[in-house]
């Protein structure tokens, strides 16, 4: 709940964000329909688009003729994220850069967030990144033990500029890096382009972060530009590519490809976050390639309004498949559904596959993930 002494400028948020841009970023493509847009409903499974966006009385609203969902920008975000109206407003305010204001204080005018081709403009400037060190052998051994990976595969990630270490968190203030209050040796995934980076503690612990509501914890810490797919511009002469979500799965891909002696033939690309679209500027890197998207088998969450389960991994794979196909790549989605670890638990991501039995790893289906590229 928001404090009663503060409020948000809802019109200011609407000026900088639109349902159309949010839908394209979170859910996929829209098609023009009269004076509005239509697309697949994100709140129930369907093959024929029944979700419509319209502007009525100056307010953008959505309605699904399939499941009956309807609402404005704030309702839409709340339904996507499974949060209440107050949290939805607060989260969108943060996304739009609209700060809360104390009652009685007028809001200042803010510039609109520009749209380009119906999408939010991608503002590309390299984020500040501290000095990153090549991991020592001890650090590689520690990371390998925590993630269940082989050190030589991690060395290959280091060689390709994907894996580094540093002390984190640090903050770039007044032209210099300053350490935070609770600093830990961390591993960092990035690439030679340095458009984005993600940090995780080397000991597997959580970072403590401060928010207005108090302290919270997070397992990873990312820069902006997370839509940049790590490694997209570094594929060189590789014609086959595995696309994964998250830094841990990127390292797992290196683990398997090293073991199969395929690193000189198969490239690894990582998108930092299932909610992201692949950046438009990176799509040209995939033209003419064969791309296999390794889809997370996450449980997802049930939308409180519709009762439908939303599965980010599936939505991400579908979104990326459409983008990459349009960019001229041959694309196949590989699902981890139905595979179990030695413990009996479901495999949810590529890193979990490391913990499967030899019998599972010998199954033809699993081998096809890395070896079969005839599609």
Q: Report pLDDT digits (tens) over 170-224.
A: 988 877 888 888 899 999 999 999 999 999 999 999 998 876 667 788 899 999 8
Say how far apart CA 6 and CA 104 lie, in whole Å. 10
**How high is the pLDDT of residue 123?**
56
Q: Average of pLDDT values for 37-42?
A: 91
CA dist 320 to 68, 154, 195, Å?
27, 26, 19
Q: Can you tell me the distance from the alpha carbon of 208 to that of 118, in angstroms, rounded to the nearest whole number?
A: 37
Q: What is the DSSP string of 97-117?
A: T---EETT-PPPP-PPPPEET
Q: Do 268 and 182 share a structural domain?
A: yes
Portion of the chain with pLDDT greater than 70, in percent: 87
Mean residue pLDDT across the chain: 86
Please say whether the beta carbons of 312 and 300 come within 8 A: yes
Nearest 5°: the CA angle 304, 305, 311 is: 60
The structure tokens listed for 105 are 């204080």
Judge contact between 295 and 312, C-beta under 8 A: no
Q: Looking at the domain assignment, is residue 130 inside a domain?
A: no
Output the six-digit token pair for 145. 């033990």
Structural domains of the chain, count: 2
> Considering the entire predicted model, what is its pTM?
0.68
What is the CA angle 373-312-94, rounded to 5? 130
Question: Which tokens hold the place of 119?
Answer: 């999408």
Q: Residue 27 sits in a domain of what CATH number?
A: 3.90.580.10
Domain endpoint, select from 57, 80, 103: 103
Q: Which of 239, 291, 249, 252 is nearest to 270 (CA)?
A: 249
- Of the three residues 55, 78, 103, the one that is the final residue of a domain is 103
Contact 81/94 with Cβ under 8 angstroms? Answer: no
- The whole-angstrom separation of Cα 90 and Cα 264 is 46
pLDDT at 97: 66
For residue 71, give the nearest of 119, 134, 23, 139 by alpha carbon: 23
Task: Indicate whether 289 and 192 sit together in one domain.
Answer: yes
Q: Which of 5-9, 229-233, 299-303 has the lowest mean pLDDT?
A: 5-9
CA distance 129 to 170: 9
End of a domain among 53, 81, 103? 103
In a domain, residue 126? The reply is no
Residue 291: inside a domain, yes or no? yes
Residue 1 forms part of a structural domain = no
How far apart are alpha carbons 375 and 372 in whole angstroms?
A: 8
- 7 pLDDT exceeds 50? yes
The length of the chain in residues reads: 375
| Claim to verify: residue 252 and residue 311 sit in the same structural domain | yes
pLDDT recorded at residue 104: 45
Q: Kindly report each contact of residues 198-207 with a partner whose C-beta sits within 8 Å and lies 24 or more positions away, as own/partner.
A: 198/222, 198/223, 198/226, 198/247, 198/272, 199/166, 199/168, 199/169, 200/247, 200/248, 201/168, 202/139, 202/142, 202/143, 202/146, 202/165, 203/142, 203/146, 204/146, 207/168, 207/169, 207/182
Residue 217, in any domain of the structure: yes
Instruction: Bin 57: left if φ > 0, else alpha if -120 < ψ < 50, else beta.
Output: left
Instruction: Kindly state whether residues 99 and 241 are assigned to the same domain.
Output: no
Residue tagged 């509005």 (tokens): 36
One domain, residues 193 and 330: yes
The model's pLDDT over 293-340, given as tens digits with 9 standing for 90+, comes to 998 887 766 666 666 667 778 888 989 999 999 999 999 999 888 899
Give the domain range for residue 193: 137-371
């Amino acid at each position: 709940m928001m404090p009663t002494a503060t409020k948000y400028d809802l019109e200011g948020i609407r000026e900088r964000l639109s349902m159309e841009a949010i839908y394209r970023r979170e859910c996929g493509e829209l098609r023009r329909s009269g004076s509005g847009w239509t697309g697949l409903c994100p709140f129930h499974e369907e093959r024929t688009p029944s979700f419509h966006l319209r502007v009525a009385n100056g307010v953008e609203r959505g309605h699904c003729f399939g499941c009956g969902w309807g609402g404005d920008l704030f309702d839409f975000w709340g339904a996507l994220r499974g949060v209440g109206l107050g949290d939805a407003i607060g989260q969108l305010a943060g996304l739009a850069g609209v700060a809360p204001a104390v009652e009685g204080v007028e809001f200042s005018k803010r510039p609109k967030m520009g749209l380009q081709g119906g999408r939010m403009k991608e503002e590309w400037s390299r984020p500040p990144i501290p000095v990153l060190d090549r991991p020592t052998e001890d650090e590689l051994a520690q990371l390998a033990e925590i993630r269940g990976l082989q050190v030589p595969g991690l060395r290959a990630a280091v060689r390709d500029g994907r894996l580094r270490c540093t002390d984190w968190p640090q903050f770039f203030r007044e032209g210099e890096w300053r350490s935070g209050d609770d600093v830990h040796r961390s591993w960092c995934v990035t690439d030679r382009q340095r458009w984005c980076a993600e940090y995780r503690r080397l000991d597997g612990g959580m970072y403590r972060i401060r928010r207005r509501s108090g302290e919270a914890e997070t397992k990873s810490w990312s820069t902006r530009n997370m839509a940049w797919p790590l490694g997209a511009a570094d594929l060189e002469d590789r014609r086959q590519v595995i696309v994964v979500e998250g830094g841990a799965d990127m390292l797992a891909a290196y683990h398997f490809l090293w073991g199969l002696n395929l690193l000189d033939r198969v490239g690894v690309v990582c998108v930092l976050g299932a909610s992201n679209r692949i950046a438009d500027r990176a799509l040209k890197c995939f033209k003419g390639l064969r791309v296999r998207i390794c889809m997370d088998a996450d449980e997802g969450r049930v939308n409180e309004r519709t009762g439908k389960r939303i599965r980010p991994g599936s939505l991400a794979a579908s979104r990326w498949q459409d983008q990459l196909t349009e960019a001229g790549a041959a694309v196949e989605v590989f699902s981890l559904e139905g595979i179990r670890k030695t413990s009996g638990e479901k495999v949810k991501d590529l890193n979990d596959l490391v913990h499967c039995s030899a019998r599972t790893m010998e199954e033809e289906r699993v081998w096809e993930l890395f070896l079969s590229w005839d599609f």
